[in-house]
Amino acid sequence: MVVMKMKFPFQKRVKLAQGLWFLSWCATVAGAITFTLGCILKTELRRRAEVMDNSDVHVVPNTLMIVGLASLGINIFASKICQDALDAERFPRWKNMLKPYFAVSCFFTVLMLLAVIMSCAMKGSLESSLKVGLKNGIRFYKDTDTPGRCFQKQNIDRLQMEFQCCGNNDFRDWFEVQWISNRYLDFSSKEVKDRIKSNVDGRYLLDGVPFSCCNPSSPRPCIQYQLTNNSAHFNYEYQTEELNLYLRGCREALVSYFMGLMNTIGAGVLSVFLLQGSVLVSLRFLQTAMEAVAGNENTEIETEGYLLEKSVKDTVMEFIEPVMQFFLFKNQVGEGSSEAQADP
């Protein structure tokens, strides 16, 4: 059963080829934009690599870059086909190449759609990666003399100031780690000794935060230490001093930032996907309409074009069966060679 059959007079075929040529170059530019968006997202994720536990989230920008480059090649190829479609003598040379071309094009177009879906569904993976990464970043904040962690303090401070956040979940996360290096502690001081002795792990813990947690919008000078002690500061109430520090955790701030970026990119790539789909559908109509002209002396006759020669199910099976037969043949050859080796 033919799907979406349409009649194409000569003038309509010419307009289709000309319009498709323009559309394919628009899709080429869109492919370059997709690649650029993937590079931008990749760069932003790499900038925050020190507070991420794994690289699973990089699958989205990697996919965008791959489909962007593939889209460039696919649409440049399509523009050349459109040019030759205006000449009935040159178009037949593409006949044997169009079937694999459509297969490759459909694969990368579907991959583009998957990239859009992944960009919207990445929140859970992003949150879990940032949860562990930020926890380790806070824990290693004091290790400015340790190779591989020398810049951890600088990175965390810049992160908290840039995103106006504090800690992993909130500023209380700093109460649970020793974020001041031992080299800056006076171990002859009774206060330092008492704090270390009061902790089973022998760590110097205090109800304080780094300077980068301070909110410049606060009308008073920032209070970093003894945050939970109301009597330690004049006219200070721990429960109501909302402007003193950034209250939002850095995990929430980063997830909000990256998801906003991914959703924006996803919307743009979805538009590219629709444009790419339009190119493929139009090219299919042009191909089938031009095939009826081949071998005919009168090249200006009216022809019929269609999207699929068979039903969707039969068309899908037509592409899948050769692949299945190839793998079955490969398995049979492998089993045969194994049996031959097993025989004495």
- pLDDT (average), residues 217-244: 88
Instruction: Give the 3-state secondary structure of residue 139.
Output: helix
pLDDT above 90 for 43: yes
Q: Between 157 and 294, whose confidence is greater?
A: 157
Q: Between 73 and 302, whose confidence is greater?
A: 73
Q: Over 236-251, what HEC string results?
A: CCCCCCCCCECCCCHH
pLDDT above 80 for 66: yes
pLDDT above 70 for 259: yes
pLDDT, position 338: 54
Instruction: Give the 3-state secondary structure of residue 294.
Output: coil
Q: Between 159 and 238, whose confidence is greater?
A: 159
Helices (H), the chain: 10-47, 59-85, 95-120, 123-139, 152-163, 190-197, 250-291, 312-342
- In order, the DSSP letters of 304-332 are EE-SBSS-HHHHHHHHHHHHHHHHHHHHH
Report yes or no: 86 and 14 within 8 Å, Cβ to Cβ.
Answer: yes
pLDDT, position 343: 54
pLDDT above 60 for 334: no
Write the pLDDT tens digit of every residue in 90-141. 777 777 777 888 888 888 899 999 988 888 888 888 899 999 999 999 999 9
Residue 204: φ, ψ to 5°: -95, 95
Write the pLDDT tens digit of every residue in 282-319. 888 888 887 777 666 666 777 777 777 666 676 666 66
Q: pTM (2 decimals)?
A: 0.78
pLDDT, position 133: 92
